């Protein structure tokens, strides 16, 4: 799970784009302090990766969110979607889900963020935009790691194993109880929501397209996770909600546009003073 680091690096490598002409849409300054922000982003990355490396050794080998006692027994909603969407050969869908979650989604979020800025002749804003998307991705990923370690729901393909020895052998491997929420879906919707919120706050004309592309990739990822029998429908539904809230919440909470403040100015003029009122960022 290295794509947030790639996004952060891309945000640092994108050059500022200067234009002689005025921007097509008015520039919008987002709250940030690169000195604090760089430390926070690096710290978030370290904590996320570190927790990922140690969590499997800390988890018990039993479920906390437990489905039916018989192999494959699950609630009616999850059973219907699993029956309808699970592929006979789950391997291609599983590979596709990784390509979408850790390739197409983060690259698309970064590329659409840059495109939206450049299309409005505001390319100098693109670096910060991509860095904020990386921040939202790291936050979504860390949330996933923590929740999966708490909920401990058995993956569908493991729960469906009728042979007890075969199931126990699979449980001994890492990740057998990481069904809820669907981590790939959390992360995909996380970067989608982060890029969409940033584009909307900036007032880019392509903001609706940023949302559409990101959410479409998120929905495709959710489908492949069910098709590969790695998650139930409710896992992906929760993943989409959590990813959207966390990924979109990061820019909303920490990078809102700077509000304009009323100012009162006193200017000397021949024979006295004059007062002027205005708005500043």
Residue 15 reports pLDDT greater than 50: no
CA distance 186 to 60: 23
Q: Are 114 and 13 in contact (CB under 8 A)?
A: no
- pTM, to two decimals: 0.83
CA distance 214 to 216: 5
CA distance 74 to 260: 54
Report the b/e string of 42-71 with b at 16+ CB within 10 A: eebbeebbeeeeeeeeebeeebeeebeeee
* Domain positions in the chain: 3-280
Q: Are 123 and 28 in contact (CB under 8 A)?
A: no
Q: What is the pLDDT of residue 279?
A: 45
Span 98-125, pLDDT tens digits: 999 999 999 999 999 999 999 999 999 9
Q: What confidence tier does 59 reach under pLDDT thresholds 50, 70, 90?
A: confident
Span 137-178, pLDDT tens digits: 999 999 999 999 999 999 999 999 999 899 989 888 888 999
């Amino acid at each position: 799970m290295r794509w947030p680091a790639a996004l952060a690096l891309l945000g640092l490598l994108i050059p500022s784009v200067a234009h002689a002409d005025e921007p097509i849409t008015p520039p919008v300054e987002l709250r940030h302090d690169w000195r604090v922000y760089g430390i926070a982003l690096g710290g978030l990355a370290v904590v996320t990766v570190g927790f990922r490396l140690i969590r499997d050794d800390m988890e018990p080998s039993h479920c906390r969110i437990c489905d039916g006692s018989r192999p494959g027994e699950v609630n009616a909603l999850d059973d219907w979607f699993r029956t309808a969407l699970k592929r006979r050969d789950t391997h291609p869908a599983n590979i596709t889900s990784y390509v979408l979650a850790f390739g197409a989604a983060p690259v698309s979020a970064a590329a659409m963020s840059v495109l939206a800025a450049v299309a409005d002749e505001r390319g100098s804003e693109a670096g910060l935009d991509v860095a904020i998307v990386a921040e939202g991705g790291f936050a979504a990923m860390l949330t996933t790691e923590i929740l999966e370690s708490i909920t401990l729901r058995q993956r569908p393909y493991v729960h469906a194993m009728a042979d007890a020895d075969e199931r126990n052998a699979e449980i001994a491997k890492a990740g057998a109880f990481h069904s809820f929420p669907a981590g790939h879906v959390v992360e995909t919707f996380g970067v989608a929501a982060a890029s969409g919120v940033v584009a909307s706050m900036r007032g880019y004309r392509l903001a609706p397209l940023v949302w559409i592309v990101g959410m479409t990739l998120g929905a495709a990822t959710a489908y492949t996770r069910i098709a590969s029998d790695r998650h139930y429908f409710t896992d992906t539904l929760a993943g989409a909600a959590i990813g959207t809230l966390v990924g979109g919440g990061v820019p909303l909470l920490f990078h809102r546009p700077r509000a304009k403040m009323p100012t009162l100015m006193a200017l000397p003029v021949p024979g006295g003073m004059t007062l002027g009122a205005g708005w500043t960022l």
